Chain A
């Protein structure tokens, strides 16, 4: 046994002619907090979508908790303990915050237990006070928190957070960082996509960098900060956004 929680082996994902992820390979050990960074359109969300089963990989293999999960349905992968939050927020808008979170709990609990655990999750994420509000009526930062609570309620082993700190104040970011750390101390593992570099550097012990779908670096924040390729990728991205084409 390798002892890895997740192994991503040569994963490629194409959309027609576009290669959103190209030959991505890395492993994740239990208890890690990994930052997945890269310029806009680098393929971060696509990689998350492949890992949770929204898109099957075009080629390559994903091994989670000792089982090959490439090509499984998202609900099977969620049951195995791998889920994500949605960058563009995909809550059940007509439903209350509490019921959104309860639905996550049903993956491995009875309704009664899911209700109890959902209340706990809401408290941990700091949104117990808005439990009865309709999810569709919330502000963006509140919705991102509901996303986190709903994902937590599935009791994942590995949780993929896609820009949950976008639009948060520094104090609110600090709360999320503390939450992720304490959950990690309880045994959860994280991959975090975040554009806010300070938050990423603070939270993550290891960074993986994507650029145009390719993995260009994997290392500690210090290593990444001094990596030539990474600096080029970010500068290049800044230039090309003005030109619009790649």
Chain B
């Protein structure tokens, strides 16, 4: 037991160390570094989703709403009023919290598929609003973050990809830390109780509605923060990508479920598999078949849930246990 404990601390520490030194050998403007950036960002997004989707099994398919709110808030404030994204990020987080609160009133009492469908619909509503409220968002043509490399950190923009990379690494570690704190606290016990049996949880004193609400808001706030970081990294986005079902919402869920829902390192494994795989698929197939990736995500999600709902981490663990058992025998 002590051995697996040291392993579960040493291995992630090694991974973080590798992530810290990895970009030193890479082209600071290069393609590989950008892929690594996206991997870290989507890992962090998965981890934010994991708080409510993994620990409490509230399968949200609408997290793109929070992501987009974060991205649009900081970008609009910066573009039209010159407010630093360092401040805009908090506005986005606040608005996402409000949206989560309002959305929770009708949806948190829904179970299973109904919750998934309702959140999916909410994400779509956000997309439609962003597309049609042209005076605020710029509409379907998208929105650009004004380029001010001279403004330095205040504008949260950098000459190379490298500072972005470390920003994303920091965000990934921060969100993972928040997840770990939740997981190991009384809050985490309550979320797991909700996941396993909501009625029993209530009967032994868990205020299931409030616990789910708090988890949803925390998850939304973190997702919005990452939305701002994404906007500052991409410099341009439109409603259909930032509020995308396949590109954001389903991808967040898929990363977690593939890696291991409710597990600290689930999103780490999930993002490390999905993002490079997606890049490879895109470079082989090209962007000519645009709808294909959406279709592929849907299929992949269903296959993963059917084949191994506990994720790759549990696969790795049972393999390890089997090897151990063999050694002992």
Establish whether residues B202 and A74, one from each chain, have CB atoms under 8 Å apart when the complex forms.
yes
Given contacts A91-B197, A94-B196, contact A102 B206 (CB under 8 A): no
Contact-residue size bin, chain B (C-beta under 8 Å from the other chain): 10 to 19
CB contact list, A24-65 vs B, under 8 A: 52-54
Establish whether residues A106 and B190, one from each chain, have CB atoms under 8 Å apart when the complex forms.
yes
B2 at the interface (CB under 8 A from A): no
Given contacts A102-B189, A103-B190, contact A91 B205 (CB under 8 A): no
Given contacts A99-B189, A110-B186, A111-B185, contact A75 B199 (CB under 8 A): no
Establish whether residues B205 and A52, one from each chain, have CB atoms under 8 Å apart when the complex forms.
no
Establish whether residues B196 and A150, one from each chain, have CB atoms under 8 Å apart when the complex forms.
no
Establish whether residues A75 and B197, one from each chain, have CB atoms under 8 Å apart when the complex forms.
no
Q: In the bound complex, how far is the Cα of B198 from the Cα of A92, in angstroms?
A: 9
A85, chain B: closest CB distance, angstroms: 9
A154 at the interface (CB under 8 A from B): yes
Establish whether residues A83 and B203, one from each chain, have CB atoms under 8 Å apart when the complex forms.
yes
Per-position contact with A for B179-221: 1 when CB-CB < 8 Å, else 0?
Answer: 0000001100110110111011111111110000000000000
Establish whether residues A83 and B196, one from each chain, have CB atoms under 8 Å apart when the complex forms.
no
Chain A residues closer than 8 Å to B206, beta-carbon distance = 75, 103, 106-107
Chain B residues closer than 8 Å to A53, beta-carbon distance = 202-203
Residue from B192, B195, B200, B202 having most chain A Cβ neighbours under 10 A: B200
Given contacts A95-B192, A111-B186, contact A83 B199 (CB under 8 A): no
A245, chain B: closest CB distance, angstroms: 30
Q: In the bound complex, how far is the Cα of B208 from the Cα of A143, in angstroms?
A: 23
Establish whether residues B200 and A91, one from each chain, have CB atoms under 8 Å apart when the complex forms.
yes
A-B contact count (CB 8 A): 80
B171, chain A: closest CB distance, angstroms: 28
Contact-residue size bin, chain A (C-beta under 8 Å from the other chain): 20 to 34
Chain A residues closer than 8 Å to B207, beta-carbon distance = 73, 75
Main secondary structure of the interface of B (DSSP, over half): helix
CB contact list, B145-203 vs A, under 8 A: 185-186, 189-190, 192-193, 195-197, 199-203
Given contacts A106-B189, A110-B186, A114-B186, contact A95 B196 (CB under 8 A): yes
Given contacts A106-B186, A111-B186, A114-B186, contact A92 B192 (CB under 8 A): yes
Establish whether residues B204 and A154, one from each chain, have CB atoms under 8 Å apart when the complex forms.
yes
CB contact list, A147-185 vs B, under 8 A: 150-151, 153-154
Chain B residues closer than 8 Å to A94, beta-carbon distance = 192, 195-196
A79 at the interface (CB under 8 A from B): yes
Which of these, A54, A93, A95, A153, contacts B203 with CB under 8 Å?
Answer: A54
Establish whether residues B199 and A151, one from each chain, have CB atoms under 8 Å apart when the complex forms.
no
A45, chain B: closest CB distance, angstroms: 13
Q: In the bound complex, how far is the Cα of B186 from the Cα of A102, in angstroms?
A: 9
Q: In the bound complex, how far is the Cα of B205 from the Cα of A153, in angstroms?
A: 11
A194, chain B: closest CB distance, angstroms: 19
Establish whether residues B186 and A74, one from each chain, have CB atoms under 8 Å apart when the complex forms.
no
CB contact list, A59-104 vs B, under 8 A: 73-75, 78-79, 83-84, 86, 90-95, 99, 102-104
Per-position contact with A for B289-316: 1 when CB-CB < 8 Å, else 0?
Answer: 0000000000000000000000000000
Residue from A91, A104, A114 having most chain B Cβ neighbours under 10 A: A104
Chain B residues closer than 8 Å to A104, beta-carbon distance = 204-205
Establish whether residues A86 and B186, one from each chain, have CB atoms under 8 Å apart when the complex forms.
no
Write the chain A residue with the least CB distance to B201: A103
Given contacts A103-B189, A106-B190, contact A74 B197 (CB under 8 A): no
Q: In the bound complex, how far is the Cα of B193 from the Cα of A73, in angstroms?
A: 16
Given contacts A110-B186, A114-B186, contact A92 B202 (CB under 8 A): no
Establish whether residues A90 and B189, one from each chain, have CB atoms under 8 Å apart when the complex forms.
no
Per-position contact with A for B14-31: 1 when CB-CB < 8 Å, else 0?
Answer: 000000000000000000
Establish whether residues B204 and A78, one from each chain, have CB atoms under 8 Å apart when the complex forms.
yes
Which of these, B189, B195, B196, B202, contacts A75 with CB under 8 Å?
Answer: B202
Q: In the bound complex, how far is the Cα of B193 from the Cα of A92, in angstroms?
A: 6
Q: In the bound complex, how far is the Cα of B207 from the Cα of A99, in angstroms?
A: 18
Establish whether residues B203 and A103, one from each chain, have CB atoms under 8 Å apart when the complex forms.
no
Establish whether residues A83 and B192, one from each chain, have CB atoms under 8 Å apart when the complex forms.
no
A73, chain B: closest CB distance, angstroms: 7
Establish whether residues A151 and B196, one from each chain, have CB atoms under 8 Å apart when the complex forms.
no
Establish whether residues A83 and B205, one from each chain, have CB atoms under 8 Å apart when the complex forms.
yes
Establish whether residues A86 and B200, one from each chain, have CB atoms under 8 Å apart when the complex forms.
yes
Which of these, B186, B200, B208, contacts A92 with CB under 8 Å?
Answer: B200
What are 10 inter-chain pairs, A to B, with CB distance below 8 A? Answer: A73-B207, A74-B203, A91-B196, A92-B201, A94-B196, A99-B192, A103-B201, A104-B204, A106-B186, A151-B204
Q: Which residues of B contact A (CB under 8 A)?
A: 185-186, 189-190, 192-193, 195-197, 199-208
- Given A75-B208, A92-B192, A92-B193, 10 more pairs with CB closer than 8 A: A78-B203, A78-B205, A79-B205, A86-B203, A93-B197, A94-B192, A104-B204, A106-B189, A106-B190, A107-B205
